[in-house]
Amino acid sequence: MDIFHSLQAQNYYQKKVNLGLAMKIYDLMFSLRWYEIGLAVASYLFIHFWRQRNRNGVPLSWPMLGMLPSLVVNLDRMYDWITEVLKAQGGTCVFRGPWLSNMQSVMTCDPRNIEYALKIHFSNYPKGKDFHRVFEDLLGDGIFNADAESWRLQRKIASLQFNSRGFRQFTANTVQDMVEKRLVPLLADVADRNATVDLQDVFLRYTFDNTCTAVFGKNPGCLAEDLPEVPFAKAFDDGVEATLYRHVMPRVCWKVFRALRIGKERQFHRALKPLREFVDDLISYKRKALAAGDGAAGEMQDLLSCFMGCPDNFYTDKFLRDTVMNFVIAGRDTSGVALTWFFWCLSRHPDVEENILNELRGILTRRSGGGDVDGAFTGKELQDCVYLHAALTETLRLYPSVPIDHKGVLHEDVLPDGTRILPGTRFLYSIYSLGRMEDIWGLDCLEFKPERWISVGEEGEVRMKNESMYKFLAFNAGPRVCLGKEMAYAQMKSAAAGILRRFRVRVVENHKVKPKLSLILTMKNGLNVTLTKRDLECGT
């Protein structure tokens, strides 16, 4: 009994001591001023930063927020920042997003990892649910947003159309007419007025008109001399720009913004209506023409007419709308942006420009034996322009139109470089960084050198050098390689040759050139240039 009372006394005493200690801590917390608490938090963050500051280039991983603060701080130079991180990490880095977010990623520019995901283990790296959610409002279930059987079916159908002789000839004629009857006269007017023009804006209009004509069979007229604002084109730009912010925000945030229609999601919602109305009106018009027995719609070789020419109206309006929207996005921005960076590179490398001019002079010289010297460059002549092709390819190596792409991950896997990757993680590959790696392209990887793409055969013939598509990803690789690659090169070469033949293009002095934060590597400030007429046939 005495022992029992003794234990009770000890327990009572211990509780009293604990209670007293808790009260002291409570009093201490409430006696601290706000700046003392702030100092304590700052000290913790400083120690956390100090411990991680030299971790071989890995972005700081903050409590709860992960590496998101580092991304936000470097958002204005995101592509170069990712390149610096990947260089420091040997080509691959694990990016940790905020707690409970969908931003956990493996970033890489290692060709072995890229080939593994895009080809060898293709089935484990689909576009994925996250990608589909981000783009579903704009791309629907189209080919660039589809996986598995839906993607395979659309790929097969699109491949048949792209490889048909009628469609190829139709697009070739469209490009040639657009250069000679629209692009060159517009720039000639600018030169006559000694005016300044944003060449990026002009090229985006050129490729947009080209793409809409090839896909819809209708020219929206963006390249008219007064450079009008076309509602469809404006809505298209707004929609693509707003989509980017879904990539750099946790899913829950942009979904809330979409539900409330605030911020970029409000812009996105406003853009969707004119986009869908434009496409739906075209589909309705062509359906009525076919139903009335009007052969004109069926005889046209544009992509929409080819799809709608199938018996029994096989395709639904939604399928057609999603399909044409996918191909407009793929064909418009990519080529227009590439041409912009190409002319900027030429402005900094006059020797490269002179080599291209010599190649074009050679064509005109061969024509002088009986050909039409004043006529537009033909598709066959442009195919023989190896140096021009190499210069455009070198531009795309350093300034790929799509700087970053990503895939989903279905099952746990180990990449060739030993990096473990979990389901639900994003497999993100930086095409921009890929062209800036010394171990891939050599010590001169940052130099603009078209010669790296040219080889000389045993008989002295000059030809393009073949490089692995997993080193040069401007047109993607593996089963999803771009169907319109040849069409894109024809579009770019025709515009570049037509302009260089008739104009000297000079970038306005002190014009600041930097990439814009976008899904496409557009220039933030455009490319302001002046033009002076020249006569290449006369050697001037």
CB 112 within 8 A of CB 417: yes
CB 221 within 8 A of CB 230: yes
Exposure class string for 183-213: b at 16+ Cβ within 10 A, else e: bbebbeebbeeeeebbbbbbbbbbbbbbbbb
d(C-alpha 88, C-alpha 461), whole Å: 41
Nearest one of 373, 332, 345, 383 to 501, comparing CA atoms: 373
CB-based contacts of 244: which residues, under 8 Å, 6+ apart? Answer: 517, 518, 519
Count CB atoms within 10 A of the CB of residue 126.
17
The one-letter code for the residue type at 455 is S
Count CB atoms within 10 A of the CB of residue 395.
26
Q: How many helices, marked H, and strands, marked E, lie in the chain?
A: 22, 11
Angle at CA 248, nearest 5°, toward 246 and 251?
A: 50
Euclidean distance between the first and the last CA atom of the chain, given in angstroms as a whole number = 118
d(C-alpha 143, C-alpha 132), whole Å: 11
Find where tokens 């009293």 sit.
16
d(C-alpha 332, C-alpha 461), whole Å: 34
CB-based contacts of 36: which residues, under 8 Å, 6+ apart? Answer: none
Q: Is 93 annotated as a binding residue?
A: no
The backbone torsions φ and ψ at residue 505, rounded to the nearest 5 degrees and listed phi first, read -110, 125
Strand partners of residue 108: 92, 429
DSSP helix/strand/coil, 531: strand
Strand partners of residue 66: 62
CB 118 within 8 A of CB 477: yes
d(C-alpha 513, C-alpha 279), whole Å: 34
Give just the sign of the alpha carbon dihedral 170, 174, 176, 181.
Answer: positive
Strand partners of residue 489: none
Numbered residues of the known binding site for heme? 482
Bind-site residues: 482
